[in-house]
Amino acid sequence: MKFRLGFLASHNGSNMQAIIDACKNGRLKSVPAVVISNNSNSGAIERAKKEGIPYYHLSSVTHPDKDALDKAILDALKKHNVDIVILAGFMKKLGHLVLEEYKNKVLNIHPALLPRYGGEGMYGRFVHEAVLNAKEKITGVTIHIVNSEYDRGPIINQVEVRVFENDTVETLAKRVLEVEHDTYVNTLKMIEDGKIRL
């Protein structure tokens, strides 16, 4: 199966780029349809421009009213006939309109083995810091379906990453991010091949 992918990203967008690259090199059949960012200066928007993918800056700046923002995001996804919504470092909570219309079709990636090291405030370096402080030997990457609770939707794929004794937040974050890129692409491949059903 082949899907139209809608990306929501707040910052760098390296996960998004890994998926776009996989669509371009034939590893995935799906098509990057639209990029939406709440940050007009994000790397994600720069990448969209470079790739010639339609993009939108939609945020509390463009839409101060929460419901209006939710509706604007939904309209952009629908305008581009998006089948699957990919959260790739998206730092905002999605509204109920998008979550209802795309029930079980919104995916997120988290840089740890959920349900551990997830929830509000657990993002970026805070996740890796907590993993190191707890002296974990194993961390990892989780892909899950998004519902209205932070990091609590059904898990569809997890991959472990080893923590080394001399790891710093930076070295661990780098190693996990590389695995994130492969894991997001591989998970989408399994969805395309019908091995994971949304």
| Burial class (CB within 10 angstroms; exposed 0-12, middle 13-18, buried 19+) of 166 | exposed
9 binds ligand GRF (CB under 6 A): yes
Positions in 154-193 near ligand GRF (CB under 6 A) = 177, 180
63 noted as active-site residue: no
Residue 57 CB: number of other CB atoms within 10 A?
Answer: 15
Among residues 11, 57, 110, 144, the one annotated as catalytic is 110
Q: Is 11 in the site for ligand GRF (CB under 6 A)?
A: yes
**Span near ligand GRF by CB under 6 A; candidates 13-21, 65-73, 130-138, 187-195:** 13-21
Backbone angles phi, psi at 134, to 5 degrees: -85, 0
Cα separation of 94 and 98, whole Å? Answer: 7
**Strand, helix or coil for residue 34:** strand
State which residue, 68 or 179, has the beta carbon closest to ligand GRF.
179
111 makes contact with ligand GRF (CB under 6 A): yes
Distances 80 to 7, 91, 131 between C-alpha atoms, Å: 11, 22, 39
Which of 48, 109, 122, 163 binds ligand GRF (CB under 6 A)? It is: 109
Nearer to ligand GRF, 16 or 74 (CB): 16
Least gap, CB of 64 to ligand GRF (angstroms)? 25
Q: Beta-strand (E) ranges in 27-131?
A: 31-37, 55-57, 84-87, 106-110
Work out whether 153 is an interface residue with ligand GRF (CB under 6 A).
no
